Structure 1
Amino acid sequence: MSNDSFIREVNEEIRQDKMKALTRRFGPIVGAAAVLIILATVGWVAWDRWQKAEAGASGDQFISALELASDGKVDEAQSALQTIEKEGHGNYPTLAAFRLAGLAADKGEATAVQQFDAIAATGSAAAIVRDMARLRAGLLLVDSGSYEDVSARVEQLTADTNPLRHVAREALALSAYKARRMADARALFEQISNDAEAPGNVRGRAGLMLDLIKSGDGANE
């Protein structure tokens, strides 16, 4: 056997001895880590399945609550929605809160605006849901609030890229008209009227309001 072969065999023996020593020392730790990873994965999969199942149950409860409201059983619908808001899963607590605010608005309850405001401030809610809550609060305040109240909620929704811009502009324009801010009202109604993407009914109302303003009804601020 050559010296080189002998040295290689000695090095190999040393490596094997080191590997055995490392296995004896760290084997239990590596094994425990592997078990923890497996348990964590199994736990996550089980949790995910449970969440989906619970969300599905919340969805069924939400639909039932909507049917109660549609049938005129408002008190029962509110009770069911309050349960979903507190105990539901997935997006259904937020949807339940939104419908509760809508029912409060339908009944003329003063708390409706605060309910929509609370949804708009919920960071976990989808952006479109928060925007719709702002819009609903703003629309309610056209009748009961000031121009500043409405603007604080819908001004950010009037941007050209916002899908709710047409109704948001209309709410702000109506509030401006009510506050005798005719220059602001005219500019907003013209913006709606000139927007080819605005729904026909919204453009039609904007045209009527522009005619009213131009006819001299409150033409001056």
Structure 2
Amino acid sequence: MSNNDSFIDEVSEEIRRDRLFSLLRRYGWIAGLVVVAIVGAATIVEIRSARAEERAQALGDSLFDVLETPDASVEEIASIEADERGRPITALVEAALALEADDPLAMRVALDSLAIDEDAPDIYRTLAELKNAMLAEPGEDRRAALTALAQPGQPFRLLAAEQLAYQDVTDGETEAAITGFGAILQDAEATQSLQSRARAMIVALGGNPEEFPGAGQ
């Protein structure tokens, strides 16, 4: 490379550097604002997360305080203040206490309130629907509700499918029940406990679990 070329390169580099410094002087405040915005947003997220954790801990303490008393009641749980994240938990605890106290009306009210709570996460609302269906009297309405909950993509589809198979047993549909339990055996997402129950029911109904290829062991 000639001295002229080297000199031109140096001059070009200086020009580029001057332009860069000029741009930084002119627009550098924008970058500063971006940094401040990012830091500020991260701080807000941390504060909100900390506050949410505090509320969750407070709710948990309140629930434990009530449940540790020998005469815990649904009314006491219902009186606990909870935000939209805590309400599904309190509703489920209310339903559990009502079931324990043999109060089907209070249990249904708690589950229904959760099932229609639009602010509650879908998984809690679906769980309430499943519990309602499980506790309903055997019949076409119960079967229709369980069938909807057993569709692919539903979070509790296998539990709903198990309940459908149990209803087949109640209805005297032995072959349908065996087929239902067999489908659970063959489902890759079925837990070991669920497969164990399905296998035991197939045997109890006079079927053979080995007739379902690919069933878990």
Q: TM-score range by the shorter chain?
A: 0.5 to 0.7
Q: Please, what is the CA RMSD of the aligned residues?
A: 4.6
User: Counterpart of 1:85 in 2: which secondary structure?
Assistant: coil
For the structure 1 residues 122 and 155, does the alpha-carbon distance in structure 2 shift closer, same or farther, using more than 3 Å as the test? farther
User: Counterpart of 1:146 in 2: which secondary structure?
Assistant: helix
For the structure 1 residues 205 and 100, does the alpha-carbon distance in structure 2 shift closer, same or farther, using more than 3 Å as the test? farther
Q: What is the CA deviation profile of residues 51-101 of structure 1, one whole-angstrom value per residue up to 9, with x for unaligned ones?
A: 331122122222124222453142232232xx3233x5xxx4554454456
The aligned runs of 1:56-75 (5 Å cut-off) are 56-67=53-64, 68-69=66-67, 71=69, 72-75=72-75
The aligned runs of 1:206-221 (5 Å cut-off) are 206=201, 210=205
Q: Which residue of 2 aligns with 1:219?
A: none
AA partner of residue 210 (structure 1): L
How many residues of Structure 1 are paired with residues of Structure 2 in the alignment? 195
User: How far, CA to CA, are the matches of 2:23 and 2:184 in structure 1?
Assistant: 75
Give the gaps of 5 or more residues in structure 1: 212-221
The aligned runs of 1:140-219 (5 Å cut-off) are 140-143=135-138, 145-156=141-152, 165=158, 167-178=159-170, 181-188=173-180, 197-198=192-193, 202=197, 206=201, 210=205
- Asked whether the 8 Å contact 1:189–1:209 carries over to 2, the reply is no
Q: Determine whether 1:76 maps to 2:76.
A: yes
* C-alpha displacement of 1:200: 9.6
The aligned runs of 1:37-48 (5 Å cut-off) are 37-48=34-45
User: How far, CA to CA, are the matches of 1:134 and 1:57 in structure 2?
Assistant: 29
TM normalised by structure 2 equals 0.60
- Asked whether the 8 Å contact 1:170–1:189 carries over to 2, the reply is yes
TM normalised by structure 1 equals 0.59
User: How far, CA to CA, are the matches of 1:25 and 1:200 in structure 2?
Assistant: 67
Q: Which residue of 1 aligns with 2:30?
A: 33
* C-alpha displacement of 1:198: 3.5
Give the gaps of 5 or more residues in structure 2: 207-217
The aligned runs of 1:47-58 (5 Å cut-off) are 47-58=44-55
- Asked whether the 8 Å contact 1:113–1:140 carries over to 2, the reply is no
AA partner of residue 148 (structure 2): A
- Asked whether the 8 Å contact 1:112–1:137 carries over to 2, the reply is no
Higher share in helix: 1
User: How far, CA to CA, are the matches of 1:141 and 1:156 in structure 2?
Assistant: 22
Q: Which residue of 1 aligns with 2:11?
A: 13
Q: Which residue of 2 aligns with 1:217?
A: none
* C-alpha displacement of 1:39: 1.0
User: How far, CA to CA, are the matches of 1:123 and 1:77 in structure 2?
Assistant: 18
